[in-house]
Chains A and B, each alone.
Chain A
Amino acid sequence: QQQVKQSPQSLIVQKGGISIINCAYENTAFDYFPWYQQFPGKGPALLIAIRPDVSEKKEGRFTISFNKSAKQFSLHIMDSQPGDSATYFCAASNVGDQFYFGTGTSLTVIP
């Protein structure tokens, strides 16, 4: 059973637009929800993460919105830039346990 479901698989956004990627999880015991960014030829790198005691976390142009009752969380990229073009993975875990990754979203920002 897939623990984390991610959508869309791919996303094309105009420069300056808002990119939104959604994830849903199954296990209500998860208490850590990171987003990883991966550029071609590179390993994934942590972009931003949230814990379930808050509903939103913002770091610059990147925001995680978290809905505990719906078991959903999303990544919003404001003022999207061509340099944001990458693959984004959501994940969920218990602290100290393995990560359950989503299937990834390929984001392309058109100049």
Chain B
Amino acid sequence: DAGVIQSPRHEVTEMGQEVTLRCKPISGHNSLFWYRQTMMRGLELLIYFNNNVPIDDSGMPEDRFSAKMPNASFSTLKIQPSEPRDSAVYFCASRRLAGVANEQFFGPGTRLTVL
């Protein structure tokens, strides 16, 4: 299995630009999570989906952030407009909702730098 795939791995952009992060979950997984990691705030849950439906987006910082999951094999996290304080590593994780199985599998992350 290829694991969770994220792209790009690194993104450098200027303040005010639109940024789109992409995630392909593990095949057969039906739950997807977006996290943000910084030194100051640690690992923060931004939003998660079950069966492509957003369940909890209370962690999304503000309206500049939006996430979609149009199908079971693809999700995007968009920041528009981006700001320097959005600089962080963004992780996508997926999980298979079945019985007592609960492990989340993380992707390698996207390191975002907003200048």
How long is the Cα–Cα vector from A102 to B56 in the complex, in angstroms? 19
Most buried by B among A49, A99, A102: A99
29 contacts between A and B (CB under 8 A): A32-B100, A34-B102, A34-B103, A36-B106, A41-B108, A42-B109, A43-B4, A43-B93, A43-B107, A44-B91, A44-B106, A45-B106, A46-B105, A49-B102, A49-B103, A51-B100, A89-B43, A93-B102, A96-B97, A98-B45, A98-B56, A99-B33, A99-B104, A101-B42, A101-B43, A101-B45, A102-B42, A103-B42, A104-B42
A→B interface (CB under 8 Å): 32, 34, 36, 41-46, 49, 51, 89, 93, 95-96, 98-99, 101-104
How long is the Cα–Cα vector from A41 to B110 in the complex, in angstroms? 10
Residues in B with CB closer than 8 Å to A104 are 42-43
Interface of B is mostly: strand
- Smallest distance from the beta carbon of B109 to chain A beta carbons, Å? 5
Residue on A with the closest CB to B44?
A101
Most buried by B among A44, A51, A89: A44
Interface of A is mostly: loop
B→A interface (CB under 8 Å): 4, 31, 33, 42-43, 45, 48, 50, 55-56, 91, 93, 97, 100, 102-109
- Smallest distance from the beta carbon of B13 to chain A beta carbons, Å? 20
Say whether, besides A43-B91, A43-B107, A44-B106, A99 and B45 are in contact (CB < 8 Å).
yes
- Smallest distance from the beta carbon of B38 to chain A beta carbons, Å? 11
Residue on B with the closest CB to A51?
B100
- Smallest distance from the beta carbon of B64 to chain A beta carbons, Å? 22
Residues in B with CB closer than 8 Å to A44 are 43, 91, 106
